[in-house]
Amino acid sequence: MKTTLLATILLATTSLAIAQETVSVGFVSDTGADNGTAELTATPGGVLIELEISGLPAGQWVAFHAHETGSCDHTTGHDSAGGHFNPTGKTHGFLSADGPHAGDMPNQYVSADGILRAQVYNDRVRLNREKDGILGRALMIHAQPDDYESQPSGGAGKRLACGVIE
């Protein structure tokens, strides 16, 4: 009886852990329209993010970040998402001596049809709610590329697409 109960508890715990390894995120444009999705997958050393976002500036590079607050209010220009996720107090940018923020990720290229399709790996975050966790935070696409050094956000410009990581 005890063995059966223990096996049931272990199976339930394992099922919960597996169910939380992948999270889907819906994106909202700066006008409030649904404009894409991302799938985040936990790995032993970080998070793999696969995204497809439409309605972006065609044929150009755009910035991609994780932001500190899980709110995507388009009526505020997505300012509700706060600044970049930065649990360790680093300086912004890959080119900064004391950077990057945990939420800093490489620029992404938008194809001629205005759709961004990418796979990005971030080894500075985890898919949980711990100090370095991004559950409850937001993913953001900006109108311009990140210069990887300007403070506090790389001169990335307007926030075009935002998705809450739940």
Among 30, 78, 101, 137, which one carries the catalytic annotation? Answer: 101
Based on the residue annotation, tell me whether 159 is a catalytic residue of this protein. Answer: yes
Based on the residue annotation, tell me whether 65 is a catalytic residue of this protein. Answer: yes
Based on the residue annotation, tell me whether 104 is a catalytic residue of this protein. Answer: yes
CA distance linking residue 165 with residue 114, whole number of Å: 23
Among 30, 65, 137, 146, which one carries the catalytic annotation? Answer: 65
Among 30, 78, 104, 146, which one carries the catalytic annotation? Answer: 104
Among 30, 78, 84, 124, which one carries the catalytic annotation? Answer: 84
Among 67, 78, 124, 137, which one carries the catalytic annotation? Answer: 67
Based on the residue annotation, tell me whether 74 is a catalytic residue of this protein. Answer: no
Amino acid identity of residue 37, one-letter, is: T
Among 124, 126, 137, 142, which one carries the catalytic annotation? Answer: 142
Based on the residue annotation, tell me whether 126 is a catalytic residue of this protein. Answer: no
- The beta-carbon contacts of 93-98 under 8 Å, at least 24 apart in sequence, are 93/146, 93/147, 93/148, 93/149, 93/150, 93/151, 93/154, 94/148, 94/149, 95/147, 95/148, 95/149, 96/148, 96/149
Among 30, 34, 78, 92, which one carries the catalytic annotation? Answer: 92
Based on the residue annotation, tell me whether 78 is a catalytic residue of this protein. Answer: no
CA distance linking residue 15 with residue 45, whole number of Å: 21
What is the set of active-site residues?
Answer: 65, 67, 84, 92, 101, 104, 142, 159
